[in-house]
Amino acid sequence: MSLHLRDYQREATQEIIDSFEEHDRCLLKMWCGTGKTRVFFFHLLEQRLPLSVVVFPSLALVDQFRKDYLNNAQWKDHVCKFQVLVVCMYGTTDADDIERFIDDSDHRPKIIVVTYQSFHLVHNLEADLMIFDEAHHVVEDRVRDLVFSESEEKVVVKKMLFVTATPEKKNGIDMLDGICCGPVAYDYTYCQAVNEGVCNAFQVVPFAVAPRFEGENRVRNILPQLEKDANAVGHGRILTFHGLAEAESNSRSDVLRFVKTAQDHFKENSSVTVRGIKGSTAKEDRDRLLWEFESCPDNKMSLLASCNTMGEGVDTKTANKVVFFDPKTSHKSVAQAIGRVTRLQPGGVSEVHVIMDMDLEALQETQDSTTLTVEEKDATIREALGKSMCVTLNVFSWLKEEDPEYASMCLHYPNRFSSNEVHRNLERQGCVVEEEALTIEKMFGTETLEEAAEKQGGAIEVHNTSMETPIVRIGEGDVVARIAEGEEEGTYHEVMMEDDGGEQQVEPPRRKPFFRVPKGSDGFSVMWKVVADGMGRSLLEFDAGGITPSDKVDPTLIYVKKNDKSPPTNEKVKFTKNGVVHEICIGQFWANIKKGHNKDLRDRLLENDILKADYDKCQEKKEITPSDRVDATLIYVKKNDKSPPKEEKVKFTKNGVEHEICIGQFWANIKNGQSKNLRDRLLKNDILKADYDKCQEKKEHKPEIPITPSDRVDATLIYVKENKKSPPQDEKFTKNGVEHEICIGKFWSNIKNGHNKDLRDRLLENDILKADYDKCQEKKEITPSDKVDATLIYVKKNKKSPPQDEKVKFTKKGVEHEIYIGKFWSKIKQGQNKDLRDRLLENDILKADYDKCQEKKEQKKSSTSNSAPPRISLPQDQQQPPLLSSDELVSPRAPLPPCTIETDSATMTMKQWHQKAFTMRSERLASIFSQDPQRWHAYHQTREQTTHDYDPLDRVVQEMKALKHRKTKTVADLGCGTGKLARELGSNKKFDIKSLDFVALPDQPESYACDISRCDILEDNSVNIAVLCLALWGTNLEDTLRSAYRILETNGVLYLVEPTRRWTVDAREPVQSLLDLVTSIGFQVVTSEFQADDRFLKFAFFKLLKNA
């Protein structure tokens, strides 16, 4: 094959093939720019499987794959042997188009290219291979459930290849556990790429910025240093990363303001160009900007600013410097940003720079100190950067650490909270942590927490010091107990809630801005220090634990010489370096050497006879080659006079070591066209030759007999007629004497689940299928009315209302179901399912329980309507004065009028109100309005006068009234004002409206006082519809949008109304900055429109969808 591969890429393709011989899935982990796409494209061309599906995260990557590979003249002779369908985006290609492509009589193997957003259209195609590019996206909700669940909706595929540089551990999926995504077939790290000249090394260069510089002043302080550094070392193609595409806050930089400031700064310098890219930038404009950036000569400087646009899949082959103006909270985002500059440039290997700004002058004093320890110097660096930049620093550590044992530890360093942080966090949220630490046995009378959860009849919530999983739930159901880890292993503190009026959500702790790193029990630490290079510049230099891989060689050899054996995996020894004593796990280091890591150190270790013998023995054990599989297959055939069935495994001894090989899968892969270099030797055996030829004959006939949906119906009906039963899940289909790999059992299962409704009627004419279908529907259809019946039966029997975790058996049409009536009744008391409530309240016991619950809610509401919510109140030592302080303010566009909320509430105009509201945080507003609700009422009185003729909320009401749905929708009116939405729609049983604002409304039963930027009273994924109508108050308005995203269920809808003038800088792109903000949070824009009243105000209306 003419496709050129480097040695490591060819090794990767072979490892994938070998892994697929024994597993149905595997992971290809390769650093950015090392050729992941080239590897899996080569695999596609070489294997020539009947149906392959390639999944990309974005249309940009689909276009890039099409341009670089599918439409590239270099690969035309190979690609023309395939039939290719590109599913561009949701709505442009439907399921029928895909089915017609699959059933096409074209003989060629088929490739479908699709995005994750459209993955639901192809997940059940019975593909031979699915390749997930940038596979860290599979942990997202909308894809995870299709790929990893065990339901009937699970993906139907023979083999899965996950390809990524940054595997994730999220949403219950650990991509590196060897189970979810299979084993790691090949791992090519950044360090390996640098050592082999495939990628550029990078240096972390700190720029001096005094703490007093913020916003544009900070940018103006950094720009001359960038220019000076570019002139000194020739690094002039600079990528800058910012927190937002456009904003009105000094706390985070944004693309538009940076571009404006930088262009103004360099307006007299023709050798410097400044450009910006946003998510909304048209593709042709983006391509042009990238081309201009990459074409910048070495003696000039070009800056390209972006928020998240310059990430995965966006190639900049000549960029040589990265500047992080704002922190990124995601390891993946930081790694992808670094990946833009580590790609090898046309001129060959060079060193690139990553810029971070800090108070370098103050820091240098501590770094030169002879009295401070290494740990203390590292802590001052982290303090100078601030807490948010520590994620970025950890990614740098991960990339630079050569030892894989330490690399993952670097990524999450420091990965533990202190016990005090955990306890203080609980106390801040109204919890009481008992002083005495008890064992599980003393606390619950059981040996394990699992047994305790079962005994308690619910879940136990454990608060621990892990940053990765700070809260762990043991058991199922609602939380019945909370405990916090004690200082001593195996001990816990009981956690009590001050408010026992229902289950309360408890948030995990957050790291304070400046902190000292807690010591881990294993002594592992990640140290950074400031050093000077030969050009008089300062650099940040990394050192994990002060120990390099080469430092571990001598302790390993000393151990072997002393003990006459190689070190076991967990062996640790003391080692002194520069007067500091370290504890090194030489056992894990030696295990990694045997696995193939640190090859540059291996030869020195193998000069020792004991280690050489241990190493050779290890290689013998693991080196089962494809040739060995051929031998094992031939031995089996000779012994059994038949070819091996697909699941056949045999014992095979090599060098005295016994292995188990799945020869059945190996032989099946050979018949499907894999490992062609081994095929000829196997086909010398007559039995295998006959089996192979028979398989090829079936393949040759198969394309001439296309399978249609009607064929599936016919096959299903024939099967039922012959077997007097509906088809089981794995039943296959035969047509014209040829067996096809189409599972009519899966087809019938999909019909029962509601797919292919146009075919269902014909199938249901058969009595057996009709009975099976009806039985399936009966099992699924437990209605709300059934839950009412089950609840009333329980109350009649037990003379009490059901507790929250109560579940009962309920029989419907001969089928027994288990119903959580306790949770159902709890929701009724909270105001849901109002159409069922009256029937339940006819029961005296339930009526008394309901009335008692409502009394509690009324008491709580009356106490919160005149005081700040407890979740946002500040500690006593941090209480703010009644007047505004200077650090609550940001620089507004126009000077503030000479009035204050405190003194001029009654006479303030709407403009004055908004200028105040938009220049302080929502917590401060909540405090002001809760202390004096009359100010809040004064604002809304002014607002009603202003919007008397036209209220933009009317558009939302009109939209919601037009919705067609049967089930009651839970609606959160965030920033409800006077509760107009609830008044307009409250009588409609299709909606359960919860009104939230700084002040509760006494005349509305579902009105609550809270800060909507936190929205603590609503749980995650608990709302179907959210409304934000002119409600984005406070400088932390992004928190409000994220809060709305949190409470919305997947595919939940947000109606967002905002004045266009507030969000528009360029009239040609109205509210573009708002669009960038909501899409960066995760919303998908469904519809957008602009309306105007009779005067001059314009409003933007958006209908947004929560994607994941």
Question: Residue 544's pLDDT band (boundaries 50, 70, 90)?
Answer: low
What was the pLDDT predicted at 263? 92
SS3 assignment, position 124: coil
Domain ranges in the chain are: 7-188, 202-411, 419-497, 547-602, 624-701, 707-779, 784-864
Q: Which long-range contacts (CB under 8 A, 24 or more apart) does 390-393 make?
A: 391/327, 391/328, 391/329, 391/330, 391/331, 391/334, 392/324, 392/327, 392/328, 392/334, 392/356, 393/528
Most confident of the following: 191-205, 548-562, 631-645: 631-645
The two three-digit tokens of residue 879, written as one number: 């209480």
Query: Is the CB of residue 506 less than 8 Å from the CB of residue 471?
Result: yes
For the ranges 181-185, 214-218, 645-649, the lowest mean pLDDT is seen at: 214-218
Strands 173-174 and 169-170: antiparallel
What was the pLDDT predicted at 395? 84
pLDDT of 727 higher than 60: yes
SS3 assignment, position 353: strand
Question: Residue 801's pLDDT band (boundaries 50, 70, 90)?
Answer: very high
**Mean pLDDT value across the chain:** 78
Task: Look at phi and psi of residue 78 and say left if phi exceeds 0, alpha if psi is from -120 to 50, else beta.
Answer: alpha
For 32-61, what is each residue's pLDDT tens digit?
Answer: 889 999 999 999 998 889 999 999 988 888
For the ranges 419-423, 733-737, 834-838, the lowest mean pLDDT is seen at: 733-737
Evaluated on CA atoms 1080, 1083, 1089, 1090, the torsion sign reads negative
Q: Which of 115, 189, 131, 136 is nearest to 331 (CA)?
A: 136
First to last CA, the chain: 41
For 328-371, what is each residue's pLDDT tens digit?
Answer: 767 778 888 888 888 776 655 566 778 777 766 667 667 667 67
Question: Residue 865's pLDDT band (boundaries 50, 70, 90)?
Answer: very low
Q: Which CATH superfamily is domain 202-411 in?
A: P-loop containing nucleotide triphosphate hydrolases (3.40.50.300)
Radius of gyration for the alpha carbons in the chain, expressed in angstroms and rounded: 33
Q: Which of 74, 23, 6, 88 is nearest to 45 (CA)?
A: 74
Question: Residue 871's pLDDT band (boundaries 50, 70, 90)?
Answer: very low
Distances (CA, A) of 436 to 441, 466, 488, 491: 14, 21, 12, 9
pLDDT of 848 higher than 50: yes
Q: Which of 884, 839, 867, 834 is nearest to 1011 (CA)?
A: 867
- For residues 999-1011, give the mean pLDDT: 88
Query: Is the CB of residue 320 less than 8 Å from the CB of residue 346?
Result: no
- For residues 580-601, give the mean pLDDT: 77
Phi, psi values for residue 1014, rounded to 5°: -115, -40
What was the pLDDT predicted at 881? 31
Cβ burial 509-523 (10 Å sphere, 16+ → b, else e) = beeeeebebeeeeee
**DSSP notation for 152-190:** TTS--EEEEEEEESS--EETTEETTSSSSS--EEEEE-H
Percent of all residues in the chain with a pLDDT value above 70, rounded to a whole number: 77
For 165-182, what is each residue's pLDDT tens digit?
Answer: 888 877 768 788 788 898
Topology agreement, domain 7-188 and domain 202-411? yes
Of 780 and 323, more confident = 323
Evaluated on CA atoms 913, 918, 924, 927, the torsion sign reads positive
Identify the bridge partners of residue 739 per DSSP, sorted by sequence position: 734
Q: Which of 106, 186, 194, 120 is nearest to 155 (CA)?
A: 120
C-alpha–C-alpha distance, residues 427 and 421, integer Å? 10
- For residues 538-552, give the mean pLDDT: 69
What was the pLDDT predicted at 560? 94
What was the pLDDT predicted at 404? 63
Residues 6+ apart with CB under 8 A from 565: 610
C-alpha–C-alpha distance, residues 1078 and 1082, integer Å? 7
Q: Which of 665, 623, 595 is nearest to 20 (CA)?
A: 665
For 904-942, what is each residue's pLDDT tens digit?
Answer: 455 566 566 666 666 788 888 888 888 888 888 888 887
Q: Which of 354, 357, 356, 358 is nearest to 337 (CA)?
A: 354
Residues 6+ apart with CB under 8 A from 898: none
What was the pLDDT predicted at 51? 93
What was the pLDDT predicted at 561? 93
For 758-784, what is each residue's pLDDT tens digit?
Answer: 788 888 999 999 988 887 776 666 778
What was the pLDDT predicted at 655? 67
Strands 184-188 and 173-174: unpaired
Of 195 and 11, more confident = 11
- Count of all residues that appear for the chain in the document: 1108
User: Is there a cis peptide before residue 414, judged by omega within 30 degrees of 0?
Assistant: yes
What was the pLDDT predicted at 250? 57
C-alpha–C-alpha distance, residues 593 and 606, integer Å? 10
Of 537 and 899, more confident = 537
Distances (CA, A) of 1068 to 274, 306, 764, 1065, 1085: 21, 20, 56, 9, 19
Q: Which long-range contacts (CB under 8 A, 24 or more apart) does 755-763 make?
A: 756/709, 759/709, 759/710, 759/712, 759/713, 762/713, 763/713, 763/716, 763/717
What was the pLDDT predicted at 451? 85
Identify the bridge partners of residue 491 per DSSP, sorted by sequence position: 439
What was the pLDDT predicted at 251? 56
pLDDT of 643 higher than 90: yes
Identify the bridge partners of residue 302 per DSSP, sorted by sequence position: 237, 273
Of 739 and 154, more confident = 154
Strands 650-654 and 580-584: unpaired
Q: Which CATH superfamily is domain 7-188 in?
A: P-loop containing nucleotide triphosphate hydrolases (3.40.50.300)
Q: Which of 1100, 946, 1094, 948 is nearest to 1029 (CA)?
A: 1100
How many Cβ atoms sit within 10 Å of the Cβ of residue 998? 24
Residues 6+ apart with CB under 8 A from 121: 87, 93, 94, 95, 98, 114
Question: Residue 376's pLDDT band (boundaries 50, 70, 90)?
Answer: confident
What beta strand segments (E) does 897-1003 contain? 969-974, 991-997
What was the pLDDT predicted at 418? 65
The two three-digit tokens of residue 10, written as one number: 């060819």
- For residues 866-884, give the mean pLDDT: 33
